[in-house]
Amino acid sequence: MQFKVRQIKRKFISPLLFFILISIFPLSFLFAPETLFSDKFTNRENSSALAIRNVRVFDGQQIIPKTTVLIESGQIKAVGKEIKIPVDAEIIDGRGKTLLPGLIDSHVHVINSQALEQALIFGVTTVIDMFMDVGMMKDIKQKQRAGQAHNMAYLVSAGTLATAPGGHGTEYGIKIPTLTKPEEASSFVEARIAEGSDFIKIIYDSGEAYFRPRPTLDLAIIEALIKEAHQRGKKVVVHAATLKNCIAVLNLGADGLAHIYFDDSFDSNFGHLVAQKKAFVIPTLTVLESLGGTKDASSLIDEPALSPFLRPADLRFLKSKLPVKIPAEKRKKLSETRQRVVQQLREYKVPILAGTDVPNPGTAMGVSLHHELELLVWAGLSPLEALKAATSLPAEKFGLKDRGWIKPGYLADLVLVEGNPDEDIKATRRIIAVWKEGVKVDRDKYRQKIALEMKKLDELKKIPAPQISSGLISDFEGEKISSNFGAGWAISTDQIFGGKSKAQMELVSEGAEGSRQSLRVSGEIVGEGGMLWAGVMFFPGEATMAPANLSSFKGISFWLKGKERQYAIVIFAQHAGFIPASTRAFLAGPEWKEYYFSFEELGLEAYDIMGIFIGAYQESGPFWFQLDNVQMK
């Protein structure tokens, strides 16, 4: 039996948001709902002096055994064994513990201020953002200047990156200026500085490292950008995809590399060149392992000291990987190459900085830096060197004169951990307390919030599954567009973000496998760069965007043919709010073809599915496609 689609007076447009991805596929991201972060997790009333006694201190360079650190008015007042402690000071016994400078993640992408709150929970008190929405950057920086950002990790940001039209960085839902000639470099750099960018980020990536060609800047433009930035006292960090790309930008004067290169090439002179150019490198091993490595970031989930602080979205993302199918032998070679490159850089004393490239698949804000530290040690750094990579070295390279060290006069951004992380790097995960500018972060309140979220998820899993025997959603054989269950089908486009893409749907003769009819969707993707989409959305719940428990099924299949181009399936789930829980792009052409996506592949348990989008994606221009036999399997 089929049910008619409920009348929807307003066209539903799915709320896709931009997702900062290292390089390859334009996936969507998810983060916790605003309500999870509505309370502040620091207490500004806690302003009295604090003394941590008998504690091992990593001061940013070395271990100081059994000493005392005195904190007053948000700063480190004194470090030593013989310190006069105020009578009203709070005293913490640090025996068996190590005090670290607040950790610094040198490669993130901030998608909202809540991500900065989450960073603090895991001891990351400063982040170096490599590309974010400028409006958001300005807002956060204004709060920092006004002393209203005590509940967030300190933000340093490049703001808008430099890239070519249609190049990497244009695909994430943010309209950004691009460059086509060297003469534009001066005005570009001036504009970034005026916006508040702390340094300049450049993209040099043609997609050849992962077989997806795309435009990139030419070296003449990059050279001009570096020159203009240096003339204005700004450092330049470059995302260079291949060994060849890295060598080229180093020879042009780049101050740092945002990643080690993505291919498996090796040059025995590379480390010497980086050292000779006095550049630094942020390996981002965490995200490169997600690209096809052998070290699994999901191990963080099993850490008893970390797991109570992981949101549902964190759990799902840590379990996910970038959707690149690389043979096991190739993965092994890539992993070995990364080890060799890091060891080579260490041998030549190149400054190595710890960065994660959050929020890519396989990462989560704050917690992933602990995995990056583990990977740096795996790649050849000593635990002490790894600690420097996340504290004093990034502070030095990004000009943070009051952070990254435990010294008198420095800000009291501190992390107290159980054990000796200079001997066992995983001890950084056993966090006892975090302070931001001398104020303790309320990790217990945060943990309680997470527990409440988990409880709500357990309740969602108890929602009864739809009682459907065949799993068929729609075969489009009736007189009207209808479905066997749920609230039916509706048009979905990027107009929710002010986009201009459009679509319409109708039943047409001729379907898949000789069937009588199918659903034809046609329209146009309008624009360049940003998140662009147009198609149809199916709502499996009793009402639009109401959750449905589809966990009794393993996945979804459908037949589709259309104009040859890129399409995507995007799934919304209640645990992710109104943010895409999973996106997979696929190519289709003029011949009927069956497509199947397992929930396991999509990283979903499918107990709270709110909407399933199918349609044209990213590539501008007119489109049409026919859809038939949409079915849960």
- Look over the chain and give the mean of its residue pLDDT values, rounded to a whole number: 88
pLDDT tier at 468 (50, 70, 90 boundaries)? low
| pLDDT tens digits for range 175-222 | 799 999 999 999 999 999 999 999 999 999 998 877 678 899 999 999
Q: Does residue 22 surpass a pLDDT of 50?
A: no
The pLDDT value recorded for residue 441 is 97
Q: Does residue 18 surpass a pLDDT of 80?
A: no
Given a contact cutoff of 8 angstroms between Cβ atoms, the answer to whether 29 and 579 are in contact is: yes
State the average pLDDT over residues 117-134.
Answer: 97
Higher pLDDT, 20 or 342: 342
The pLDDT value recorded for residue 331 is 78
Pseudo-torsion of CA 526, 527, 532, 533, nearest 10°? 10
Alpha helices in 21-158 (DSSP H): 113-121, 134-145
Beta strand pairing call for 439-440 and 431-436: antiparallel
Q: Does residue 291 surpass a pLDDT of 60?
A: yes
Residue type, 172: Y
Q: Give strand ranges (E) for 502-608.
A: 502-509, 517-525, 533-539, 555-562, 565-573, 580-588, 593-598
The pLDDT value recorded for residue 557 is 97
The pLDDT value recorded for residue 127 is 98
The pLDDT value recorded for residue 61 is 97
The pLDDT value recorded for residue 45 is 45
What CA–CA distance (Å, rounded) separates 355 from 108?
7
Beta strand pairing call for 609-617 and 533-539: antiparallel
CATH topology of domain 110-398: TIM Barrel (3.20.20)
| pLDDT tens digits for range 423-436 | 999 999 999 999 99
Residue with tokens 């996936």: 27
State the average pLDDT over residues 97-115.
Answer: 96
For residue 459, how many other CB atoms are within 10 A of its CB?
10
What CA–CA distance (Å, rounded) separates 128 from 103?
11
The pLDDT value recorded for residue 323 is 61
**Measured on CA atoms in the order 283, 286, 288, 294, is the torsion positive or negative?**
positive
**Measured on CA atoms in the order 77, 82, 87, 90, is the torsion positive or negative?**
positive
Beta strand pairing call for 154-157 and 124-129: parallel
CA triplet 385, 388, 393: central angle to 5 degrees? 125
ω before 26 within 30° of 0 (cis)? no
Integer CA distances (angstroms), 370 to 61, 387, 525, in order:
19, 10, 41
The pLDDT value recorded for residue 582 is 83
Closest CA to 527 of 614, 618, 613, 624: 618
What CA–CA distance (Å, rounded) separates 104 from 388?
10
Q: Exposed/middle/buried for 45, CB within 10 Å: 0-12, 13-18, 19+?
A: exposed
Closest CA to 523 of 498, 489, 500, 496: 500
Given a contact cutoff of 8 angstroms between Cβ atoms, the answer to whether 42 and 150 are in contact is: yes
Span of 49-58, 479-488, 490-499 with lowest mean pLDDT: 490-499
Q: Does residue 37 surpass a pLDDT of 50?
A: no
CATH number attached to the domain at 3-30+463-632: 2.60.120.430
The pLDDT value recorded for residue 29 is 32
The pLDDT value recorded for residue 585 is 87
Helix (H) or strand (E) holding 458: helix 443-460
The pLDDT value recorded for residue 335 is 87
pLDDT tier at 243 (50, 70, 90 boundaries)? very high
pLDDT tier at 1 (50, 70, 90 boundaries)? very low
Helix (H) or strand (E) holding 373: helix 368-378
The pLDDT value recorded for residue 604 is 86
Q: Does residue 376 surpass a pLDDT of 90?
A: yes
Name the token pair of 131.
């590309």
Closest CA to 432 of 308, 303, 305, 302: 305
The pLDDT value recorded for residue 12 is 31
Domain locations in the chain as residue ranges:
3-30+463-632, 110-398
